[in-house]
Amino acid sequence: MATTVFAQSGNSEKDKSTTTKTISPDLFGVFFEDLSYAADGGLYAELVQNRSFEYSASDKKDWNSLTAWEYITQGYSYGTLSIESAHPVHPNNPHYLLLNIEDSGQEGLGISNSGYDGITVKAGEQYNFSVYLQQLSPNPIPVTVQLRDKKGTVYGAATFITESGGWKKYNNVLTVNQTADSLKLFVLAKKPGKLAIDEVSLFPQNTFKGEANGLRADLAQAIADLQPKFMRFPGGCLVHGDGLGNMYRWKNTIGPVEQRIQQRNIWNYHQSIGLGFYEYFRFCEDIGAKPLPVVAAGVSCQNSGGTWRIGGIGQKGLPLTDMQGYIQDVLDLIEYANGPVNSKWGAQRAAAGHPKPFNLQYVGIGNEDKQTDDFRLRFKMIYDVVKAKHPEITVVGTVGPSPSGDDYDQGWKFANLLNIPIVDEHFYERPEWFLSNNARYDTYNRKKSEVYIGEYASQGNDLINALTEAAFMTSIERNGDVVRMASYAPLLANSKHTSWNPNLIYFNNSKWVPTVNYYVQQLFSVNQGDSYIRNVVTFNGITDSTLAASCVKDSRTGDIIIKIVNAGTTATSSKIDLKALNIQSKKAKLNILKGNPNDKNTLNEPLKLVPIVSDFDTKTLNNYTVPAYSLSVIRIKGR
């Protein structure tokens, strides 16, 4: 890998003193986007796919209301099945299944669902089954629910009897005694009659923090273990959408799940919207991350309709006559998060089970939008109103998809004009870029907008990628007075449905893997400080960009944390200026991540790279050997 040489990070500031400066307390966070099945089939714990028969060919060619479903006519049962929309549970959820059971045979007539690549269950756990049914014939119909494997072995079952009188929700608990994957959920009617079926759901009781309509516990915990200071959601390109009709509208995502408005996912699948804004806010609260919801800036994605293909429709602006209503939606979002329970939207939050406010502080407007007059006009309309009505909210603007170029320049010009408090920069670049841009923010004009590095990744999951990201992150800490926040992207990818690489976390139905990049993010995030101490680490005479270091202090604990990165081929000695640090304590820990540059952690192999923690003798700070291809995090106890 070619590297550019420049003064390494610890020495790159003109000020050579060891003075400290205050840095952002919100520096390292996460960015969640429903991409690569990150939500449905991922973080959202629902096990039934296409639970309300709303999939269609507009989501994906070959998809329809019966995708992931199978018509079951075993044991000489017969009847008919159709998809209807005349009398749905709720007009927002228009399709449902109609089962006409002429003969229920020995085993019952019904449907089975294959989940997301099979349903995975764990021994000893309980699963909440629920379904909306409308008994359309005079007599009650016994219904059996079963989790079965390919051979027909039953892993959990329940039975109930339908009642007349319109749509009714039925709830059962399935207890599972054996761990299994590739299961299907069967719903079988055991007597002749007519049944309308909708919103078939199976949730593990063991969701993250036991929340209803909750999140997959292991994946949510993996995110929580990053100790993110904030979480940006729900995207990305998902926010501004593939054309105006596909723009993410937060109001469609709250309330009872069967009343939410589902839609196509810009990443070529479907959004059930079971994971909606209420669940996002609740998750942020559960993991102690500040919520950073992003709303579209009144324009769709510039790549709408596949702009790179002939016939793409490109960026479109909402009609100006719709903008007042759209701006009201943004104001209502702030009220939903922070308003009192007697306000219109605060009451909706309380009705969902959360009377206390969510303490929203940041709102993002736009996502790497093309800087056009259409964009600028609409952004300003939204921004001016939010600023005037909610001075307590910090708006995050956007400066295009890349770290330089026309959109970036235009975006910054616009940000300066409007005094936007923070702008969102995105870098998907080669590892070399992260090394040669270590000084990027050292000379940033501190009087201009602060920066949120909302998406960055060095195009790979090898150790060398993670180390170049780590080197760059030392510069984020050093410039934590102007860089307010930073988040790696994307966060989650289902290994069978990955539409973007690399990602921070890969998962399948039963496990997830921490990439080396994950460990780097974690080491920085759990070792964040609130002040930066300049010029603490020196590398003996060497100024190669593969070496980088930072030093922060955490005022809550008094701990001093030194991070040293060596993304190069040779071990190097470093000196940590003990006097400047005025270190009394002898208690310290070293957390080190090192290995071969092209090693990576993958889902189906034992972990190759894991940080190793050990006691550290502070006497050796005077001459610490930094191994080749390593990140060292030295945490010295303050008290």
Residues 171-200 that bind ligand AHR (CB under 6 A): none
Specify whether the backbone of 333 is left (phi greater than 0), alpha (psi in -120 to 50) or beta: alpha
Is residue 273 involved in binding ligand AHR (CB under 6 A)?
no
Q: How far is the CB of 491 from ligand AHR (least distance, A)?
A: 9
Is residue 367 involved in binding ligand AHR (CB under 6 A)?
yes
Task: Give backbone dihedrals phi and psi of 278, rounded to 5 degrees, phi first.
Answer: -60, -45
Distance CA 550, CA 634 (A): 11
Show the DSSP H helices in 526-569 as ranges. none
In what side-by-side order are the strands of the sheet with 193-204?
Answer: 78-84, 96-103, 193-204, 126-135, 168-175
Cβ closer to ligand AHR: 367 or 545? 367
Strand-strand pairing, 142-148 and 154-161: antiparallel
Cβ closer to ligand AHR: 126 or 410? 410
Could you count the other beta carbons within 10 Å of the beta carbon of residue 619?
A: 9
Tokens of 624: 């610490």
Among residues 156, 193, 236, 595, the one that binds ligand AHR under rule CB under 6 A: 236
Stretch that binds ligand AHR, among 229-237, 325-333, 390-398, 558-566 (CB under 6 A): 229-237
CA dihedral 267, 268, 269, 274 (to 10 degrees): 30
Is residue 297 involved in binding ligand AHR (CB under 6 A)?
no
Number of residues that bind ligand AHR (CB under 6 A): 12
- Select the residue whose beta carbon is closest to ligand AHR and give its number: 236
Among residues 489, 492, 516, 548, the one that binds ligand AHR under rule CB under 6 A: 489
Q: How far is the CB of 507 from ligand AHR (least distance, A)?
A: 17
Cβ closer to ligand AHR: 27 or 239? 239
Q: How far is the CB of 39 from ligand AHR (least distance, A)?
A: 13
Distance CA 50, CA 534 (A): 54
Is residue 368 involved in binding ligand AHR (CB under 6 A)?
yes
Is residue 237 involved in binding ligand AHR (CB under 6 A)?
yes
Residues 31-50 that bind ligand AHR (CB under 6 A): 33, 35
List Cα–Cα distances, 218 to 37, 76, 545, in angstroms: 16, 42, 37
Cis peptide before 319 (omega within 30 of 0): no
Burial 323-358 (b: 16+ CB within 10 A, else e): beebbeebbbbbbbbbbeeeeebbbbbbebebeebb
Stretch that binds ligand AHR, among 60-68, 120-128, 231-239, 600-608 (CB under 6 A): 231-239
Instruction: Report the SS3 class of residue 269.
Output: strand
SS (H, E, C) 94-127: CCEEEEEEEECCCCCEEEEECCCCCEEECCCCEE
Catalytic residue among 33, 54, 335, 368: 368
Q: How far is the CB of 116 from ligand AHR (least distance, A)?
A: 21
Q: How far is the CB of 297 from ligand AHR (least distance, A)?
A: 13
Residues 515-544 that bind ligand AHR (CB under 6 A): none
Q: Are 494 and 42 in contact (CB under 8 A)?
A: yes
Is residue 401 involved in binding ligand AHR (CB under 6 A)?
yes
Is residue 500 involved in binding ligand AHR (CB under 6 A)?
yes
Is residue 460 involved in binding ligand AHR (CB under 6 A)?
no
Stretch that binds ligand AHR, among 136-144, 234-242, 291-299, 615-623 (CB under 6 A): 234-242
Site of tokens 């090898």: 462
Cβ closer to ligand AHR: 249 or 390? 249
Cβ closer to ligand AHR: 368 or 429? 368
Among residues 346, 490, 568, 611, the one that binds ligand AHR under rule CB under 6 A: 490
Q: How far is the CB of 420 from ligand AHR (least distance, A)?
A: 18
> Which amino acid makes up residue 236?
G
Is residue 279 involved in binding ligand AHR (CB under 6 A)?
no
Active site residue 368: yes
Cβ closer to ligand AHR: 35 or 295? 35
Q: Are 577 and 535 in contact (CB under 8 A)?
A: yes
- DSSP states of 563-582 as a string? EEEE-SSS-EEEEE-HHHHT
Which residues sit at the interface with ligand AHR, rule CB under 6 A?
Answer: 33, 35, 235-237, 367-368, 401, 455, 489-490, 500
Q: Hey, which residues are catalytic here?
A: 368
